[in-house]
Amino acid sequence: MKKRVKKPAPRRAKAPVVASASAPVSVVILAAGQGKRMNSDLPKVLQPLAGKPLLQHVLDTAAQLAPAALHVVYGHGGDAVRAACADPGIRWSLQAQQRGTGHALLQAMPGIPDDHQVLVLYGDVPLLRAQTLRELLVLAAGQISLLTVNLADPAGYGRVLRDARGRVRAIVEQKDATAAQLRLREANTGVMVLPAKPLKKWLGALRSDNAQGEYYLTDVIAMAVKEEWRVAPLVASSESEVTGVNDKLQLAQLEAAFRAQRAAEAMRAGATLADPARFDQRGTLKLGRDVFIDANVLFEGSVQLGDRVRVGPGCVLRDMTVGADTVIHPNCVLEKSSIGSHCSVGPFARLRPNAQLQDHVHIGNYVEVKNSVVGQGSKANHLTYLGDADVGEKVNVGAGTICCNYDGVNKSRTVIEDGAFIGSGAMLVAPVAIRAGATIGAGSTITKEAAAGKLTVARSRQVTLEGWQRPVKRPR
């Protein structure tokens, strides 16, 4: 009888070593591209969006994730890029030759520990949300995660290839795709999370035998799948969130998308916008209840508006605090200052840094205030300059009054005490004090202290010259 030979059990593929769900995260931002289509001397990642460079938007988003390390791979315009984003926490890696995204990421990998997760971002994709990235990191626990997007027109994007069960199998770049693959609408954004140790191996195995002769980062997905790593896709909620910038037209389109996002946030917070399409927020905006914002208002830096504040059209507010029930009339430029409640400012007023308006203050048309305190209930309604001044309560400053605060070398202060009345066209030559309840006659030039409760007049003697004739033009 023939001896029966027991066949060995089929050998199972070795399961990959998975990254821990709590693995530290190293963020790598690829920012070495030249951006030739920008037709600009400014590196692409330094092109401005909402008042700050594209790369800074990405850095700010990455910082919200509190990563263990933040790497930036730079190349074109390297000195300018590093100077513009001079954060001591950034670890810079130079890609001297642009040989593809895989080659770019490889430059940062020596500084990343094997037990880290690597989150790959791009310096020209500025509107990606931190919440999306948090979801992507959670999804990457024990596997690889990939951010994709469904596009009506995916031209120019790599296509995500899935099997019959919907599992990601590979990514093919457009120039290497077949006609059938080009009909796919799910596109690769390039944003992904991978475990560092196998990623280093995959990057080292990349080849450049493709249509562009580059080392594609996307090829590591097929390598990972071959080694039985699971690739978990996350579909982005909107196209604008993952859109990269390649030319000035796309930059303008993202600027419009950014404005629309901020307008929606303001309205959800309770603000009424006269025209959301003409609302421009380039910083942080904290809103009270029932705020009204007219068309073509620009907010920069950190701005806080109290309840029922009204901002007229054409205003610029930069690093401002505005109290409740204040009205800002059209075409004012207000920066680095504070305004109390129930105030009226403008139209055509300017607040320069460190102007402090207390409650119930009126600052009218063509009035400029700089480095001054204006006390409660005081008014400067026309054509006035208050510079380096301490203005008390219930002071009336007449039209054309100027604080002459600068002698060419030194700045000096003017003190105007409570209840003073400054007549029109007065020149207050600092350092000088106008005491409580004093009245300054119109057209006076005040160089000495004006006594409390009294009228002070300082004018040159009026003279009429007999026989004087006004000059006339000579006939040609």
- Out of 57, 71, 342, 382, pick the active-site residue: 382
3-class DSSP string for the chain: CCCCCCCCCCCCCCCCCCCCCCCCEEEEEEECCCCHHHCCCCCHHHCEECCEEHHHHHHHHHHCCCCCEEEEEECCCHHHHHHHCCCCCEEEEECCCCCCHHHHHHHHHHHCCCCCEEEEEECCCCCCCHHHHHHHHHHCCCCEEEEEEECCCCCCCCEEEECCCCCEEEEECHHHCCHHHHCCCEEEEEEEEEEHHHHHHHHHCCCCCCCCCCCCCCHHHHHHHHCCCCEEEEECCCHHHHCCCCCHHHHHHHHHHHHHHHHHHHHHCCCEECCHHHEEEEEEEEECCCCEECCCEEEEEEEEECCCCEECCCCEEEEEEECCCCEECCCCEEEEEEECCCCEECCCCEECCCCEECCCCEEEECCEEECCEECCCCEEEECCEEECEEECCCCEECCCCEEECECCCCECCEEECCCCEECCCCEEECCEEECCCCEECCCCEECCCECCCCEECCCCCCCCCCCCCCCCCCCC
Q: Given the structure tokens 């840094």, which residue do they identify?
A: 353
φ/ψ region of 331 (left if φ > 0, alpha if ψ in -120 to 50, else beta) reads left
Decide if 382 is catalytic: yes
Q: Give the active site residues.
A: 382
